Structure 1
């Protein structure tokens, strides 16, 4: 699966294709809640370990965009 943006779902936030699971939710589970990637697959059974790593790679490749979006909401 890949990372997609669909303005009709999740307010256009990047999601894992076919799941509706937002990249920022995966990143939050990893960074803020301390879950390891294999544990995240238990939180989101529709995801493979590769999906989690792709989401985290996308997050870190676009971290400035994620951070500016969060600060705009605050």
Structure 2
């Protein structure tokens, strides 16, 4: 699954293609709430473990862009 940005969805935030799940939400679950990637697949059962790792890789590659966003669990 790819990461996409569409100004008409999620205010243009990076999302998992075809799902509307924001990379930010996956990163918050992992980094700030302590969920491991396997647990995140339980939160989003339509995403594979590979999808979660893709989102986390995108997050870490663009971390400066995400640091100014909220970190609520």
Is residue 17 of structure 1 aligned with residue 9 of structure 2? no
Q: Deviations over 1:22-47 (max 9, x none)?
A: 00000000011100001000000110
Query: Any stretches of 5+ residues in structure 1 without a counterpart?
Result: none
Structure having the larger proportion of residues in strand: 1
State the superposition RMSD in angstroms: 1.1
> Paired residue for 2:5?
5
- The CA deviation at 1:67 is 1.3
Aligned length: 70
Structure with the largest fraction of helix? 1
Regions of 4+ moved over 2 Å: none
In structure 2, stretches of 5+ residues that fail to align are none
Structure 2 SS opposite 1:46: coil
- TM-score by length of structure 1 reads 0.90
Q: What displacement does 1:66 show? A: 1.0
